[in-house]
Structure 1
Amino acid sequence: MTVRVRFAPSPTGMFHVGGARSALQNWIFAKQQGGVFVLRVEDTDAARNKPEWTEGILSALEWIGIARDTYEGPYFQSAYAGEHRAAAGRLYDAGRAYYCDCTREAVQARTGSQYQGYDGFCRDRGLPPGEGRALRFRTPDEGTTVVVDLIRGEPTFENKLIEDFVIARGDGSPVFLLANVVDDLTMGITHVIRAEEHLPNTPKQQLLWDALGVKPPVWAHVPVVVNEKRQKLSKRRDKVALEAYRDEGYLAAAMRNYLMLLGWAPSGDREIVPWSVIEEEFRLTEVNPSPAFFDEKKLRAFNGEYIRALPVDEFVAACRPWLTGTGTIAPPPWQPEEFDADAFAAVAPLAQTRIAVLSEIVPNVDFLFLADPLIDEAAWAKAMKEGAAELLDAAVAGYTALESWDAESLKSTLEAVGAERGLKLGKAQAPVRVAVTGRTVGLPLFESLEVLGRERTLARLRAARLRLV
């Protein structure tokens, strides 16, 4: 039997990092088993679905490493409406479902509670199909439903506590529970690997599989992903969109490594490991069922490690979209023609050790590509204190007289300027750094001045001195 797994997102917004984690787990499991990964887009909620969100899912999967030629699909749930309705009809004909005309208000009136489930009022009324009549599954009165789960053991549910749930609405359209089962059946899905939040639906779906006369798939419910307050990650409250991390400059390799650690760990005392190791070592049965904490600070640290591990030429290429204004949320503060690839290549090794996400490259190197630096006024106030004007005058004089414009000469000149005023180099270079780069922190100063060049450096020092008049 060929293993077939599926990832079935709904295109109702940005791609959730929890969904990306589930997709990776399904994809790796299928690959390990020599099986098939199926992508199914559950698009039956037309009011909430948008084509661009479907394309966003495909693009995000591609970015995370699940290329379009490595899976089957995408299939669209809406294309299987006929199969859904046919299955509902078979269940009705077999006496496993019945029609119900009860409104929510009527049920509440009979039960005296808005929280109690359906009371089975129409179970034996023998209502035929009719407008506005929902189709309910006839849940067995006795016994239990045991869900055999690779991660959670054998959760057991008493059938008497499962209400007769709706499988088709009053207009005949199937609900998620039935459509999901029929799609899995139609596509030959053998293993369902999905988030823990779906576990409460699983006994109902397993009853549907049994009623349709087919053996249910193997279940595996991976842990819910939570924030630092141990609350389930929410699109309304938390930063959960995979695209947002991509556009901020997280590396795909770092992201997928981190996502795979949400509920699982490779062997040994290590977390940052080659993808080949994860593909080899990942085991569904080793996934921890406890909630998994999505730690953005840890992800950021992961990403910094991955950035520092890049060969310099790959780092330069990875930064280019942020430096040239392509594929980013916000363009850089310079025009594309002002970007100097050679200048950036010269400082790239210095910048690579200082950033944790690629978008941070812009404020670190913007001074190289602007006619005038972007002055941080707080930094200016901090650096340009008493004596700054005289120090800038001396720096201009010393740098004008330099025969060799290199980092070591620039450093020794400013050291001498500072020593004449009783200042250590750290204090002496503060006004110079702000005058030239606009900030108090950044790349190593003297290497930056060497790349910026004599003319532009002296022009900025003189402009800063005039501002202090």
Structure 2
Amino acid sequence: MANGPVRVRFCPSPTGNPHVGLVRTALFNWAYARHTGGTLVFRIEDTDAARDSEESYRQLLDSFHWLGFDWDEGPEVGGPHAPYRQSQRMDIYKDIAAKLLDGGHAYRCYCTTEELDARREAARAAGKPSGYDGQCRVLTAEQAAAYEAEGRPAIVRFRMPDEAITFTDLVRGEVTVTPENVSDYGIIRANGAPLYTLVNPIDDALMEITHVLRGEDLLSSTPRQIALYRALIELGVAKRVPEFGHLPYVMGEGNKKLSKRDPQASLNLYRERGFLPEGLLNYLSLLGWSFSADRDLFTVAELIEKFDIADVNANPARFDLKKAEAINADHIRMLDVKAFTEACEPWLRAPHANWDPEDFDRAAWEAIAPHAQTRLTVLSDITANVDFLFRKEPVEDEASWAKAMKGDPAALLTTARAKLEAADWSSAESLKEAVLAAGEEHGLKLGKAQAPVRVAVTGRTVGLPLFESLEVLGRERTLARIDAALAKLAAA
């Protein structure tokens, strides 16, 4: 553990919709900062003008606000190391790149793409490492001048040390990489644009990051960055090499790494379906970490209290949508009724609602909400569960109709109608007894007897508790729907 306060960072690129792997990385950094009382720096890596967009940047901010993340330095809040967008820090990178060149830590490379490809192919054929072979490492001033006179463009490469680099990964333990496996690498393109390999460590150094917690896919770049940090320390730019922790892969279908192209990777999918932020974060935290051996359900506050990077597992974590849904359903149950009704509001309005806005009955909604809360997996389920209350006629689901209206449904519905008409409509139990009695007269158990009633009234075979639903719908509308079902049966 580093001495002094913890400073972690989260630095996404604004390229398209955020995905759940990115959110998991953000979550672990945020939870670690909050657990340790440290600082979370949020910065934007937007140096790729061809892929980055202002729309994606705004979407990132909106997504993190929705998830409940806050940050101590970064966009919207500022901080002592501003600006926090790499596109606004180009002069900084240019200046430090010049210092690396002047200090002998970097050099200009004039090799063409064709030359590099040919030498790599030859190295592979000889069974040797195919990284950069150091051709331009020891150019004389005359050779460099000759290349310049040819008009050859040059990139800037960082000069890797000729020694093994060893570091202790906070998740994986000790890692050693030998020099033949880490060649000199580019830090400035031929057009003068800085590369990720330069700007990311520079920002970490200047922002005094103590812990770099990021995906396992970046593990191979860590030895390069450690060497760069050491050079920056020598130049007086950096104070220390941060500690690294590489988080396990998140695996999708077919045991392949979950990619941005996988539908279940999109954060927007979960927002649109009506996952609670708390439910989604609870599940994502389990991708590589656990609260305890016998507990998967916890609040965000409990996550923060318990989270430690030392407890992250190095093994790949499989994304299980069914488990994510189950945990979200549990979080829906954990809401108080007022919070639940408010959370459902977006799905009770256009474009989700399949009823006319003027037909929405808030009193009926508030009466049915406690019963709906026990049945939902995601909030978007609410629309189909309560639309029978607000539509003039129930949804016509022919599959449900065919399934429920078997045997002699007209006789059963006629008996049920009579008994419901005489029932006490202030009691769901009284309505249940009425349908139960109707079923008994026709030799049917409650499950079989209530199916035609449910479809006649709600249009579907599956839904909220039937008798509580009838109580909220009321005698007049319930009987009118049974009458309509009887008329449909008679006309068939």
* TM-score interval, smaller chain: over 0.9
Aligned to 1:352: 373
Aligned to 2:300: 275
Q: Choose which of 158, 165, 178 in structure 2 pairs with 1:145.
A: 165
Aligned to 1:253: 278
Q: Choose which of 67, 87, 107 in structure 2 pairs with 1:98.
A: 107
Q: Choose which of 9, 12, 17 in structure 1 pairs with 2:15.
A: 12
Q: Which one-letter code corresponds to 2:18 in the other structure?
A: F
C-alpha spacing 1:6/1:404, structure 2 compared with 1 (3 Å): closer
Q: Which one-letter code corresponds to 1:287 in the other structure?
A: V
Q: Is the counterpart of residue 208 in structure 1 residue 228 in structure 2?
A: yes
Distance 1:424 1:434 in 2: 17
Aligned to 2:28: 25
Q: Which one-letter code corresponds to 1:280 in the other structure?
A: E
Aligned to 1:73: 74
Aligned to 1:423: 444
Q: Where do 1:18-417 residues align within 5 Å?
A: 18-67=21-70, 70-74=71-75, 75-112=84-121, 116-126=130-140, 127=144, 132-140=153-161, 142-212=162-232, 213=234, 214=238, 215-267=240-292, 269-325=294-350, 330-402=351-423, 404=425, 406-417=427-438
C-alpha spacing 1:267/1:441, structure 2 compared with 1 (3 Å): closer
Query: Match of 2:391, SS?
Result: coil
Measured after TM superposition, the shift of residue 55 of structure 1 is: 1.6
Measured after TM superposition, the shift of residue 79 of structure 1 is: 0.9
C-alpha spacing 1:261/1:402, structure 2 compared with 1 (3 Å): closer
Measured after TM superposition, the shift of residue 419 of structure 1 is: 2.4
Compare 110-119 and 42-51 and name the one that shifted more.
110-119
Q: Is the counterpart of residue 440 in structure 1 residue 454 in structure 2?
A: no
Query: Match of 2:214, SS?
Result: strand
Q: Which one-letter code corresponds to 1:121 in the other structure?
A: Q
Measured after TM superposition, the shift of residue 384 of structure 1 is: 1.8
Measured after TM superposition, the shift of residue 268 of structure 1 is: 5.3
C-alpha spacing 1:423/1:117, structure 2 compared with 1 (3 Å): same
Query: Match of 1:276, SS?
Result: helix
Distance 2:426 2:289 in 1: 53
C-alpha spacing 1:94/1:270, structure 2 compared with 1 (3 Å): same
Measured after TM superposition, the shift of residue 379 of structure 1 is: 0.9
Measured after TM superposition, the shift of residue 95 of structure 1 is: 2.0
Query: Match of 1:5, SS?
Result: strand
Measured after TM superposition, the shift of residue 107 of structure 1 is: 1.8
Query: Match of 1:147, SS?
Result: strand
Measured after TM superposition, the shift of residue 393 of structure 1 is: 2.8
Aligned to 2:81: none
Measured after TM superposition, the shift of residue 23 of structure 1 is: 1.5
Distance 2:285 2:293 in 1: 15
Q: Percent identity?
A: 49
Measured after TM superposition, the shift of residue 166 of structure 1 is: 0.9
1:232-281 deviation digits (Å, cap 9, x = unpaired): 11111241122321221111112222222222222452121233332222
Residue pair 1:131, 1:170 contacting (<8 A) in 2 also:
no
1:72-125 deviation digits (Å, cap 9, x = unpaired): 112101111111111211111122222222222222223435973322222223
C-alpha spacing 1:354/1:111, structure 2 compared with 1 (3 Å): closer
Distance 1:408 1:30 in 2: 52
Compare 120-129 and 270-279 and name the one that shifted more.
120-129
Aligned to 1:451: 472
Distance 1:245 1:175 in 2: 33
Distance 1:406 1:113 in 2: 85
Distance 1:118 1:137 in 2: 11
Measured after TM superposition, the shift of residue 57 of structure 1 is: 1.4
Query: Match of 1:146, SS?
Result: strand
Query: Match of 2:174, SS?
Result: coil
Compare 443-452 and 109-118 and name the one that shifted more.
109-118
Large movers: runs of 4+ above 6 Å: none
C-alpha spacing 1:411/1:38, structure 2 compared with 1 (3 Å): same
Measured after TM superposition, the shift of residue 145 of structure 1 is: 1.0
1:382-412 deviation digits (Å, cap 9, x = unpaired): 1223411232233334434456564233333
Query: Match of 2:173, SS?
Result: coil
Query: Match of 1:41, SS?
Result: coil
Distance 1:261 1:381 in 2: 42
Distance 2:8 2:424 in 1: 69
Query: Match of 2:108, SS?
Result: strand
The two structures, once aligned, show a CA RMSD in angstroms of: 2.0
C-alpha spacing 1:33/1:422, structure 2 compared with 1 (3 Å): closer
Residue pair 1:167, 1:174 contacting (<8 A) in 2 also:
yes
Q: Is there any run of 5+ residues in structure 1 with no aligned partner, and where?
A: none
Distance 1:404 1:365 in 2: 19
Residue pair 1:147, 1:202 contacting (<8 A) in 2 also:
no
Compare 245-254 and 112-121 and name the one that shifted more.
112-121
Q: Which one-letter code corresponds to 2:19 in the other structure?
A: H
Residue pair 1:3, 1:30 contacting (<8 A) in 2 also:
yes
Q: Which one-letter code corresponds to 2:176 in the other structure?
A: T
TM-score normalised by L of structure 1: 0.93
